[in-house]
Amino acid sequence: MSTQLIFQSHLILGYVAWLLCFSVYVWPRLKSMDRFEAQRVIATVHSFRFFGLAFILPGVVGSNLPASFATFAAYGDFATGVLALLALLAVRIRPLFWLFVVAFNVVGIADLLIDYYHAVRVDLPAHAEELGALYAIPIIYVPVLMITHCVAFYLLVRPQLKATRSLQKPEMSAG
């Protein structure tokens, strides 16, 4: 089996596994939370994206990993991670929190889409060995990042369900 086919299979299976896991364990919990708490959970997941800087760390990835892919992936992840951390630090200032939530999701999903574009342009699947120790990032971590960005946007535009109290008077018992 070719390196390209293995990488593409891993990527597809990463999405399948995360979608199954997410639909059973994560999505029911997130949709039962209020919008603020759900976005805090998603921001926490993305706050670790500072780790993407490892794409430009000598010795971690192969020396032939295309810089056009590695550099953008590294700094896009870093920017997203910092914005997610800022959202978490701003939880007590709600308008600022929401600004950072939107910012890290816009920057983050743009980063992932542009990374996919760069990966296709440089034929990354055929040279997946150049990812070295970071091979697991596009296979295991990126699918959950993309899924959580999509969920974050859905939760941002979904009407917030509010608890309503019954306005009816309790029935009087005949006693």
Structural domain harbouring 35? 3-157
Q: What is the pLDDT of residue 158?
A: 85
Q: Is the residue at 175 inside a domain?
A: no
Rounded Cα distance, 168 and 122, in Å:
65
Q: Is the residue at 39 inside a domain?
A: yes
Averaged pLDDT of the chain: 92
- Count up the domains in the chain and report the number: 1
Q: Is the residue at 78 inside a domain?
A: yes
Task: Report how far apart the first and last C-alpha atoms of the chain are (Å, whole number).
Answer: 81
Confidence of residue 165 (pLDDT cuts 50, 70, 90): very low
Q: Is the residue at 166 inside a domain?
A: no
Lowest mean pLDDT among 9-13, 72-76, 101-105, 159-163: 159-163
Encoded tokens for 128: 């997946």
Q: What is the pLDDT of residue 174?
A: 53
Q: What is the pLDDT of residue 159?
A: 79
Residue for token pair 């983050």: 108
pLDDT more than 70, % of the chain: 91
Q: Is the residue at 169 inside a domain?
A: no
Check pLDDT > 60 for residue 144: yes
Check pLDDT > 60 for residue 171: no
Check pLDDT > 70 for residue 169: no
pLDDT tens-digit series, residues 47-79: 999 999 999 998 999 999 999 999 999 999 999
Torsion of CA 29, 32, 37, 43, to 10 degrees: 50
Q: What is the pLDDT of residue 161?
A: 63
Q: Is the residue at 134 inside a domain?
A: yes
Residue that wins the pLDDT comparison between 167 and 39 = 39
Q: Is the residue at 167 inside a domain?
A: no
Check pLDDT > 90 for residue 164: no
Mean of the pLDDT values across residues 102-118?
98
DSSP string, 25-93: IIHHHHHHS-HHHHHHHHHHHHGGGGGGGGGGSBTTB-TTS-HHHHHHHHHHHHHHHHHHHHHHHTTTS
Angle, helix 94-121 to helix 35-46, in steps of 10 degrees? 40
Rounded Cα distance, 57 and 21, in Å:
31
Rounded Cα distance, 67 and 57, in Å:
11
